[in-house]
Homo-oligomer: A and B are copies of this chain.
Amino acid sequence: MEKRIAILPGDGVGKEVSRGAVTILQAVAELFNHKFHFTYGEIGGAAIDEFGTPLPEHTLDLCKVSDAVLLGAVGGPKWDQMPGHIRPEKGLLKIRKELGLYANVRPVQYYSSISGISPLRKEIVEGVDMVVVRELTGGLYFGKPSERTVQKGEASVVDTLFYQKNEIERVIRYAFELATRRRGKVTSVDKANVLESSRMWRETAEEVAKDYPEVQLDHMLVDNAAMQLIKNPRQFDVLVTENMFGDILSDEASVLTGSLGMLPSASVSVAGPYLYEPIHGSAPDIAGMNAANPIAMILSAAMMLRLSFGLEEEAEAIENAVKQVLDAGSRTRDIALFGTPFLTTEGMVEEIKAV
């Protein structure tokens, strides 16, 4: 198989972990006789420094002609004082919009080998295996107006939560599709007791559910969901919610198992290439120190092999290699118990490659 993969390392540890993922993908290509063409593009702060914009046209063009996009991370204190429209994060928001990446898919999984680092009690977190599906191109993030105003003589500000019903429908449908291939349960999260958009969300979920009689649909209020994730995370199979709620809840979910540095994500679109990225950010505090955990990025690459290229066996090979290395006790700093030895980013990549 021959595939074109756009690599957008971005900022901070994004550079290091991207390198790790490419190393592993090259090993997979050799082993399974595929050809992966890697082309590099700039995004985020790196792109601002070089081209004055967080998402240059040529990066976007590169993505559009690629079969999949692997992104490291964007952002850092260096660009925090920039005006809104040329901040690194704008690059991320724009690429989502331009590629039509309407659903962000984040599996959260418990790894028994690193159970010791979860902030939750073992009885609570053991066996957690859920996916958060977050709407990614609508809601509060993109609605207009989003601006300062003066109302009745008072300095004021407005942001807008806007959805077309078909945007709500397609992401909920994606969640149901996913649930049919998992444990068959969708938890739709909203704030229907306050927001009109949430009431439309809930109605739409009910409508979509009719097409999936074998899937169980539950509704949960977002404040309750924030509690239930901690009290009883095992109850969730697929959790689907709007952009802003999803930003908060997916990050909350990602720390439950203690494996933030190990969690991949996929952002899917209707037509174009999908985008894969680790959940952790650019981690400026450890950037360039060869200390980041490359596993989230490597597992993102595995998700790419499975979802974009249909290479199930190859994806599993990577996932198994990661599991084996963890079972054997190898750790990067973020997942090592206090006072125990750990590997560098490159060291971890080498161990995974060696399997």
Question: Which one of B194, B200, B224, B230 contacts A230 once the chains associate, using CB atoms below 8 Å?
Answer: B230
Cβ of A328 < 8 Å from any Cβ of B?
no
Question: Which one of B147, B166, B229, B254 contacts A154 once the chains associate, using CB atoms below 8 Å?
Answer: B166
Decide if A161 touches B147 in the complex (CB within 8 Å). Answer: no
Q: Known: A121-B120, A248-B222. Is A197-B158 also a contact (CB below 8 A)?
A: yes
Cβ of A37 < 8 Å from any Cβ of B?
no
Decide if A252 touches B252 in the complex (CB within 8 Å). Answer: yes
Interface residues on A, range: 35 or more
User: Chain B residues with Cβ under 8 A from A224's Cβ?
Assistant: 251
User: Chain B residues with Cβ under 8 A from A160's Cβ?
Assistant: 158-161
Bound form: Cα–Cα A309–B223 in Å: 31
Contact code string A226-266 (vs B, CB < 8 Å = 1, else 0): 11011100000000000011011111101110001000000
Question: Which one of B151, B230, B248 contacts A256 once the chains associate, using CB atoms below 8 Å?
Answer: B230
Decide if B155 touches A164 in the complex (CB within 8 Å). Answer: yes
Cβ of A157 < 8 Å from any Cβ of B?
yes
Cβ of A329 < 8 Å from any Cβ of B?
no
Decide if A197 touches B119 in the complex (CB within 8 Å). Answer: no
User: Chain B residues with Cβ under 8 A from A15's Cβ?
Assistant: none
Decide if B165 touches A157 in the complex (CB within 8 Å). Answer: yes
User: Chain B residues with Cβ under 8 A from A270's Cβ?
Assistant: none
Cβ of A340 < 8 Å from any Cβ of B?
no
Contact code string A97-126 (vs B, CB < 8 Å = 1, else 0): 000000000000000000000111100100
Between A and B, 14 residue pairs with Cβ closer than 8 Å are A87-B193, A93-B194, A121-B121, A156-B164, A157-B163, A157-B165, A226-B248, A226-B251, A227-B260, A229-B252, A230-B230, A230-B256, A248-B248, A248-B249
